[in-house]
A = this chain, B = another copy of it.
């Protein structure tokens, strides 16, 4: 059985680790390496080798006993599992400091994503050009998202506007949202949402610190 449990219900936490494995495999490839092992990967990532083997075993048998994993092959398999063996067009809403950094970011394309449109509601910003894209008014959002077949969007507007923007994105057909505004948004269950809040991470760490001053 080449591919067991492919359509089974894989724990979400396992899916969340696959991008980390993929990141590590990219680096190993860049180092001209051909084979690696669950032990080496675990070492680099601070994860137990048993966990890596078990995670991968949900999707098939990618390794060889005594040898380990062929890096290029495993990388390709994980890319297929995560559906990043293609390029996802993305929309960015909010062309402020963060939004502009995201549009400029060259790290998306090599990993399966490309920003294809950017929106703002500030008349002063609309029309501005960022990395080859023109900032569009919100009135263009629905039509642009449809035209570019956009399923993935990033929200980079102030928190007061985040919920409304999320609603507009969902109505336009977006199915996955990465929200940078520090607020939990409400969307239909069928829409994927992830959050990035650097302050939450910082506060998590300061719990363990003793103030110096």
A contact residues vs B (CB 8 Å cutoff): 15-16, 18-20, 22-24, 27, 44-46, 81-84, 86, 88, 90, 97-98, 100-102, 104-105, 107-108, 111-113, 149, 151-152, 154, 159, 175-176, 178, 182-184, 192, 194, 196-209, 211-213
**Partner of A201 from B81, B100, B178 at Cβ < 8 Å:** B178
- The reply to whether A182 and B107 contact each other, CB–CB distance below 8 Å, is yes
- The reply to whether A97 and B101 contact each other, CB–CB distance below 8 Å, is yes
**Partner of A205 from B149, B192, B211 at Cβ < 8 Å:** B192
CA distance A159 to B18 in the complex (A): 19
* Further 18 A-B residue pairs, CB within 8 A, beyond A19-B201, A112-B199, A196-B196: A15-B207, A19-B203, A23-B197, A27-B159, A83-B209, A84-B203, A97-B101, A100-B101, A112-B203, A113-B199, A113-B202, A149-B213, A151-B209, A152-B209, A176-B205, A176-B206, A176-B209, A192-B205
28 chain-A/chain-B pairs, Cβ below 8 angstroms: A16-B200, A16-B204, A18-B203, A18-B204, A19-B197, A19-B203, A23-B183, A24-B184, A82-B203, A83-B206, A84-B203, A90-B202, A97-B104, A101-B101, A112-B206, A151-B212, A152-B202, A152-B205, A154-B198, A175-B209, A176-B205, A176-B208, A178-B198, A178-B201, A178-B202, A194-B201, A196-B196, A196-B198
